[in-house]
């Protein structure tokens, strides 16, 4: 980097010896705009204390501090020109550049053959299970775990304290509280007294309750097994089907078939297409028959 012609900025302060100053109020001795170098930065003024001390310039002539500004240098840098490559003057290099320019398409094709772009293989898309499929899976899962508890020939998957034991299961379902409790007893039958393992699954307020999902979650937790994410993240039903329960005007209303006219939403029942069902908040689909949906999806 090299310096340009020196530039300065004007600063109102007391100058030091050797600094350049510019006169801004020359009075009768100096011309405004003149530039001098400070010879003495603490020049005495005798009895004149209007400005305390001043500076001496131009062979010892006094100047009050208020009559000048200090010129502070500003470094100006410019970039040096880039060095010239010796190749630019090499005739062989010039011939090579011309060869590349004349054969660019063929060279690009050759590069693709020598170093091809990597092939990106898309990960397989796993279709998300429907609510009907998740419920069917949960129901089958519970049945299998109960079967395993009654035999010594099959063990539970995972690191369960019941993997080498007989066990029996009992469930308590509270649809009002939206909970399912699994009670696990060592041995081949349910007995009185405290269970050997217990877990209560509670449905989130944002989800629709289904007892079979609650049973699968509660039993897996009680047995010390991992709970599949599809149980806790099951798709929510899109609408209330026959058997579903909605909350309408503070009343739990169960959806009945359209052919059922013996209904009264104030007493807890309404036809599936009635306003109470359509406008109510769906809270429970335990009694909805999803077997038809599961069969269609399997086909």
- Average pLDDT over every residue of 120-146: 89
User: What is the distance between the alpha carbons of residues 175 and 243, in angstroms, rounded to a whole number?
Assistant: 14
Establish if 71 belongs to a structural domain.
yes
11 pLDDT above the threshold of 50 = yes
Indicate whether 228 and 250 sit together in one domain. Answer: no
Establish if 158 belongs to a structural domain.
yes
In sequence order, the β-bridge partners of residue 2 are 78
Indicate whether 60 and 143 sit together in one domain. Answer: no
101 pLDDT tier (thresholds 50, 70, 90): confident
Indicate whether 57 and 136 sit together in one domain. Answer: no
Q: Is the dihedral of CA 262, 265, 267, 272 positive or negative?
A: positive
Indicate whether 150 and 202 sit together in one domain. Answer: yes
Which of the 8 DSSP states describes residue 210?
A: -
Establish if 259 belongs to a structural domain.
yes
Establish if 145 belongs to a structural domain.
yes
Q: Is the dihedral of CA 47, 51, 55, 57 positive or negative?
A: negative
Indicate whether 205 and 278 sit together in one domain. Answer: no
Establish if 250 belongs to a structural domain.
yes
167 pLDDT above the threshold of 60 = yes
Report whether 35 contacts 80 (CB < 8 A).
no
What per-residue confidence (pLDDT) applies to 48? 47
Establish if 211 belongs to a structural domain.
yes
- Average pLDDT over every residue of 100-110: 84
Q: What range defines the domain where residue 270 resides?
A: 245-289
Regarding beta strands 269-271 and 68-74, do their DSSP bridges make them parallel or antiparallel, or are they unpaired? unpaired
What per-residue confidence (pLDDT) applies to 77? 57
Indicate whether 222 and 275 sit together in one domain. Answer: no
- Average pLDDT over every residue of 136-149: 95
Widest distance between CA atoms in the chain? 121
Q: What are the Cα distances from residue 123, in Å, to 63, 126, 264?
A: 84, 9, 52
What per-residue confidence (pLDDT) applies to 240? 93
Q: Name the percent of the chain lying above pLDDT 70.
A: 89
H/E stretch holding 98 reads: helix 91-102
Establish if 6 belongs to a structural domain.
yes
Higher pLDDT, 171 or 56: 171
Look up the pTM and report it.
0.57
Laid out side by side, the sheet with 167-174 consists of 167-174, 179-186, 197-202
Establish if 95 belongs to a structural domain.
no
Lowest mean per-residue pLDDT among 41-50, 157-166, 187-196, 207-216? 41-50
Lowest mean per-residue pLDDT among 10-14, 133-137, 246-250? 10-14
Report whether 290 contacts 132 (CB < 8 A).
yes
Give the helix ranges, DSSP H, for 103-196. Answer: 104-114, 131-149
Count of domains forming the chain = 3
1 pLDDT above the threshold of 50 = no
User: What is the distance between the alpha carbons of residues 171 and 190, in angstroms, rounded to a whole number?
Assistant: 11
Q: Name the percent of the chain lying above pLDDT 90.
A: 50
47 pLDDT tier (thresholds 50, 70, 90): very low
Indicate whether 214 and 273 sit together in one domain. Answer: no
């Amino acid at each position: 980097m090299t310096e340009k012609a020196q530039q300065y900025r004007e600063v109102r302060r007391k100058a030091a010896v050797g600094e350049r100053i510019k006169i801004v109020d020359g009075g009768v001795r100096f011309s405004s705009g003149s530039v001098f170098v400070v010879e003495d930065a603490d020049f005495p003024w005798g009895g004149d204390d209007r400005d305390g001390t001043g500076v001496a310039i131009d062979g010892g002539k006094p100047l009050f501090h208020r009559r000048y500004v200090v010129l502070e240098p500003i470094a100006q840098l410019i970039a040096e020109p880039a060095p010239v490559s010796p190749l630019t003057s090499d005739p062989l290099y010039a011939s090579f550049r011309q060869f590349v320019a004349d054969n660019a398409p063929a060279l690009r094709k050759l590069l693709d053959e020598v170093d091809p772009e990597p092939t990106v293989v898309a990960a397989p898309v796993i279709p998300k299970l429907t609510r009907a499929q998740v419920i069917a899976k949960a129901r089958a899962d519970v049945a299998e775990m109960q079967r395993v508890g009654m035999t010594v020939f099959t063990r539970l998957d995972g690191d369960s304290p019941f993997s080498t034991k007989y066990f029996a299961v009992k469930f308590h379902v509270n649809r009002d509280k939206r909970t399912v409790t699994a009670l696990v007893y060592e041995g081949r039958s349910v007995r009185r007294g405290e269970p050997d393992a217990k877990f209560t699954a509670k449905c989130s307020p944002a989800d629709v309750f289904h007892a079979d999902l609650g049973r699968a979650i509660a039993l897996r937790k009680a047995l010390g097994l991992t709970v599949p994410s599809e149980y806790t993240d099951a798709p929510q039903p899109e609408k209330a089907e026959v058997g579903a329960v909605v909350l309408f005007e503070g009343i739990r209303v169960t959806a009945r078939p359209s052919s059922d006219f013996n209904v009264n939403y104030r007493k807890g029942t309404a036809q599936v297409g009635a306003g109470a069902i359509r406008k109510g908040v769906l809270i429970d689909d335990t009694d909805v028959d999803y077997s038809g949906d599961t069969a269609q999806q399997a086909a």
